[in-house]
Chains A and B, each alone.
Chain A
Amino acid sequence: MAKRIILQSPDPILSKKCRPVEVFDEKLHVLLDDMRETLEDADGAGLAAPQVAVLKRVCVVSTEEGYFELVNPELKAASGEQTGVEGCLSVKGKYGTVTRAEKITVVAFDRYGKKKKYKVEGFTARAFQHEMDHLDGVLYTSKCTDLKDE
């Protein structure tokens, strides 16, 4: 396992759309392991593959509700609304307010290629949405109106 370097905005890679994972092999497992190590080291709530310069639809989320590995995640349903403050490991020293869905249903594969359904809400739902945005090249800074320095 190895900690990877987190790209910083405005690195152009952060604004690219990622490609689906097609092979669930050792390389994917190494990537997921590295991402976990990188996330824990940075003490963040989530990390998406493009943040470590890998253009694959892979992200990890770590909240009080657990640790999630999402491969090719898709948003199946969303309801409600929550407004709160977000930051991002790729936008150091900033934070801003973003409005997102309160409850969501996401279907994603695990690292072995098994399909799983996640029904999450609150902060975990926010983290899921933030990380899944990364996979389409979207940073929270484009969704908030009040980006501030820490």
Chain B
Amino acid sequence: MKEHIRAAHDLLVRIYSDRTYADRAFDGEDTGALAARLVYGVLERDTEIEYILSRLVNKRPQKAVWILLKIGVYALLYIDNVPDYAIVSECVEAAKSMGKGGASGFVNAVLQSVAKRRYTLPAPSQPEYLSVHYSKPQWFIDRFRAEYGEQKLLAVLEDKGTDFVHVRVNTRLSTQEAVVKLLEAHAQEYMPSAAGGLLTSVTPLVKSLFREGVITYQSPSSVLAVKALAPGGRTDILDLCSAPGGKAVYCSELAPAATVTACDVHPHRVRLIKSYAERMHADNVKPVLSDATVFDERWEGRFDFVMADVPCSCFGTFRKHPDVFLQRGEEAIAKLAAVQRAIIDNAVRYLKPGGVMVYSTCTLFGEENEDNAEYILKKGLSLQKMPVPFDNDGTLHILPKGEWDGFFIARFTK
């Protein structure tokens, strides 16, 4: 187990200290299942683990030891098939093997206290109960409650999500019926999704179909945003913040005669769009290096469809990305809302009169969502009902439940 603790520790140090995104920290690393479970477990239960450790430790040790303690606490509380004494001694050995032998007595003492439950968790009547019990930052609980009320807060916190992945069939190469037939021939479990895709598991067949571009992994919210735009015809489509390219490529399928200009501000992200489009045989997607916050006069009034899936605080994806609360706090919301408005300013100018624009985020709070929709209306655009399988008057808010990330979509015409 010591090696797994060490491997998890290496990754967590990168995530906590260098602010590397968890999924990127894993990129290219051949991590064992236990190490991966420790990393995601610590990230998911970070608030609770911090609470417990703060009851037992007066002075925070250096970061490397603190992270090792977090792994130990997670393992003691949530890993059932290893006895507590073994977890404690493996963590002590791990401390020694990473040159922190001086702290081994401390690690031993703290983890022994955790194993013996020498702390009390907040009772349901206490204000910090939900934050610790569901391991989410207190500000998140408070803000969510203020915007949505207690009932929706509890529903979201209680929801277990899904173990399935969401895939969409590439209509250039196949049809949903044909892919379903293939899944059935392989006796593979699947379920049609409300967004029009399929929920299934990652198997060698699914991986192979993905490699061939017959299917692609795309979240239901991302699929829905493109359906809300509903591009078609021999038109010009602009996707302003496009990488990795899922929405742009789906646009190009719905409108094969159109040209989809797919922008991103980072060269390596533009390359992601390029390879995504190549894999999916999407020849009408043109990846372009461009900063959506900087006005480009060549594009003024040129586009029939504009997708503004803006950079956002991403709090709606906390189940897929449990580290989102470590990457940014509440203060990010106002900062990102300002960036979003700069992008909106340009998006509106790029749109032809009569053109359609979709504004979308994968976050939960009004400042980045409804407030910005208001901002777009003030620019003279009007809301338009979206052709999606949910009741709407031009805006749609989905909370993180089941296969859905939390997100916001709004459709406008100029």
Binding site for B on A (CB under 8 A): 5, 7, 11-13, 16, 53-56
Closest to A55 in B: B212
Q: How far is the CA of A55 from the CA of B172 in the complex (A)?
A: 13
B33 within 8 A of A: no
On whether the beta carbons of A55 and B173 are closer than 8 Å, the reply is yes
On whether the beta carbons of B214 and A53 are closer than 8 Å, the reply is yes
B197 within 8 A of A: no
CB distance from A55 to the nearest CB of B (A): 5
B178 within 8 A of A: yes
- Write out the residue numbers on chain A whose beta carbons fall within 8 Å of the beta carbon of B182: 5, 7, 11, 53
On whether the beta carbons of A12 and B174 are closer than 8 Å, the reply is yes
- Write out the residue numbers on chain B whose beta carbons fall within 8 Å of the beta carbon of A16: 173
On whether the beta carbons of A12 and B212 are closer than 8 Å, the reply is no
CB distance from A138 to the nearest CB of B (A): 16
- B residues contacting the other copy or chain, number (CB 8 A): 13
What 1/0 flags go to B197-227 for Cβ under 8 Å of A?
0000000000011001110000000000000
Q: How far is the CA of A16 from the CA of B213 in the complex (A)?
A: 12
- Write out the residue numbers on chain A whose beta carbons fall within 8 Å of the beta carbon of B174: 11-13
- Write out the residue numbers on chain B whose beta carbons fall within 8 Å of the beta carbon of A13: 173-174, 178, 214
- Write out the residue numbers on chain A whose beta carbons fall within 8 Å of the beta carbon of B209: 53
Closest to A27 in B: B211
Q: A5-B186, A53-B214, A55-B213 in contact; A12/B178 too (CB < 8 A)?
A: yes
In B42-76, the 8 Å CB interface with A consists of none
- A-B pairs, top 10 by smallest CB distance, nearest first, are A5-B185, A11-B178, A12-B174, A55-B212, A13-B174, A16-B173, A12-B175, A54-B212, A12-B178, A13-B173
- Write out the residue numbers on chain A whose beta carbons fall within 8 Å of the beta carbon of B181: 11
On whether the beta carbons of A53 and B175 are closer than 8 Å, the reply is no
Q: How far is the CA of A75 from the CA of B174 in the complex (A)?
A: 28
Q: How far is the CA of A16 from the CA of B171 in the complex (A)?
A: 12
Q: How far is the CA of A53 from the CA of B185 in the complex (A)?
A: 13
- Write out the residue numbers on chain B whose beta carbons fall within 8 Å of the beta carbon of A7: 178, 182
CB distance from A64 to the nearest CB of B (A): 31
Q: How far is the CA of A53 from the CA of B213 in the complex (A)?
A: 10
Most buried by A among B173, B174, B185, B212: B212
A–B Cβ pairs within 8 angstroms, 29 of them: A5-B182, A5-B185, A5-B186, A7-B178, A7-B182, A11-B174, A11-B178, A11-B181, A11-B182, A12-B173, A12-B174, A12-B175, A12-B178, A13-B173, A13-B174, A13-B214, A16-B173, A53-B182, A53-B208, A53-B209, A53-B212, A53-B214, A54-B208, A54-B212, A55-B173, A55-B212, A55-B213, A55-B214, A56-B212
CB distance from A87 to the nearest CB of B (A): 20
Q: How far is the CA of A13 from the CA of B213 in the complex (A)?
A: 11
Q: How far is the CA of A37 from the CA of B264 in the complex (A)?
A: 45
Q: How far is the CA of A7 from the CA of B182 in the complex (A)?
A: 8
